[in-house]
């Protein structure tokens, strides 16, 4: 008797695609069958399905028939997604897409399950659901319970984003440049616009006309779509020499009164949030500790005395997990529970 889902992972050999396979296995998502797809470059290579010992042969996405498959998790970037996501959706396979392609499409739900699960019901319009940007995802998980409690007016965010957000090439570049500096070799920027080793770069994605970058614009637009269109957001997005894990410094202004202590109590109970906030040496979370974890970690909760009803918080999460692969799998779980009902 067939009970589970037939699941496809597109872009299975990349940073996020591998993590999707790991998380499907770890969370024991009810898959009857799993297909790993990538470009012709990776065709025929084998990858492990999480730590199950089961090997999957990578198939070429170009000639894959999505008919009869239930869910396709896309981790392939906007180019290939533009070609293959509509093909999968038309074949009756629900697409959960990690690229930025469909996020702002009014007919495509943009989902963080802890924040706006009900919005998933709109997936039938195009058979596509979008996964937010990694930095937006962890931020809205932390903001949602506070917004419910005291209504957020405005958020000022500065990000400290790891190089894995720029894919495997980003991680290789940090590693190779660090090594070059230690042995006195010249440093060549390739993936990043400047040296990333022992440096920070206030530039992620392309520049827009108003001087902000697309990454900064994404945080603003996506937060409005997921959390509340009335929330004002301003962002500065910075690439830092960290391999995995994005951090954010958030300054939040509320309509209503909320103390740091109240905020801590709310965050302690909030879904998807782990409050680790001891006011002492090491009593906070850094990217190194969050790697491989499902939670969005919050530390350094304190009042901002320069405005009425203001708080500062520090927020850290594994960008390949909650920022990407985990959120996609959680969307698949939500879709299964509410709509497909097979597992």
Indicate if 315 belongs to the active site.
Answer: no
For the CA atoms of 269, 23, 284, 245, the dihedral, rounded to the nearest 10 degrees, stands at -130
Question: Number of C-alpha atoms within 13 angstroms, CB side, residue 209?
Answer: 0
Question: Which listed residue (31, 93, 134, 315) is catalytic?
Answer: 134
| Residue 138 DSSP symbol | H
Q: How many other CB atoms are there within 10 angstroms of residue 195's CB atom?
A: 17
Indicate if 237 belongs to the active site.
Answer: no
Structure tokens given for 172: 């290789």
Question: For strand 31-38 and strand 5-10, is the pairing parallel, antiparallel, or unpaired?
Answer: parallel
For the CA atoms of 108, 113, 115, 119, the dihedral, rounded to the nearest 10 degrees, stands at 30
Question: Which listed residue (147, 246, 290, 315) is catalytic?
Answer: 246
Tell the residue number behind the tokens 């498959």, with chain if given.
69
Tell the residue number behind the tokens 């440049």, with chain if given.
177
Structure tokens given for 248: 């954010």
Its sign, for the CA torsion 209, 215, 221, 224, is: negative
Catalytic amino acids?
134, 246
């Amino acid at each position: 008797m067939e009970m589970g889902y037939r699941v496809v992972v597109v872009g299975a050999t990349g940073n996020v695609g591998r993590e999707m396979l790991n998380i499907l296995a770890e969370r024991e998502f009810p898959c009857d069958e799993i297909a790993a797809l990538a470009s012709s470059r990776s065709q025929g290579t084998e990858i492990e399905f999480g730590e199950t010992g089961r090997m999957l042969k990578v198939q070429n996405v170009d000639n894959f028939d999505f008919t009869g498959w239930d869910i396709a998790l896309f981790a392939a970037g906007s180019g290939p997604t533009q070609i293959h996501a509509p093909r999968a959706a038309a074949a009756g396979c629900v697409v959960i897409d990690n690229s930025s392609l469909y996020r702002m499409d009014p007919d495509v739900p943009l989902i963080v399950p802890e924040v706006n699960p009900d919005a998933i019901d709109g997936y039938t319009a195009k058979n596509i659901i979008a996964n937010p940007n990694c930095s937006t995802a962890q931020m809205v998980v932390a903001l949602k319970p506070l917004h419910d409690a005291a209504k957020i007016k405005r958020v000022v965010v500065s990000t400290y984003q790891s190089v894995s957000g720029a894919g495997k090439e980003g991680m290789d570049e940090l590693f190779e440049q660090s090594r070059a500096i230690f042995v006195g070799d010249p440093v060549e920027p390739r993936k990043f616009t400047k040296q990333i080793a022992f440096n920070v770069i206030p530039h992620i994605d392309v520049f827009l006309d108003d001087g902000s970058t697309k990454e900064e614009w994404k945080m603003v637009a996506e937060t409005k779509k997921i959390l509340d269109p009335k929330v004002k957001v301003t962002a500065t997005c910075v690439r830092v020499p960290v391999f995995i894990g994005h951090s954010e410094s958030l300054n939040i202004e509320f309509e209503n009164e909320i103390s740091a202590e109240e905020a801590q109590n709310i965050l302690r109970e909030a879904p998807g949030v782990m409050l680790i906030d001891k006011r002492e040496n090491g009593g906070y979370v850094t990217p190194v500790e969050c790697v491989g974890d499902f939670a969005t970690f919050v530390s350094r909760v304190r009042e901002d005395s320069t405005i009425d009803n203001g708080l500062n918080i520090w927020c850290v999460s594994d960008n390949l997990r909650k920022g990407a692969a985990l959120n996609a799998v959680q969307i698949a779980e939500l879709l299964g529970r509410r709509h497909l009902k097979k597992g």
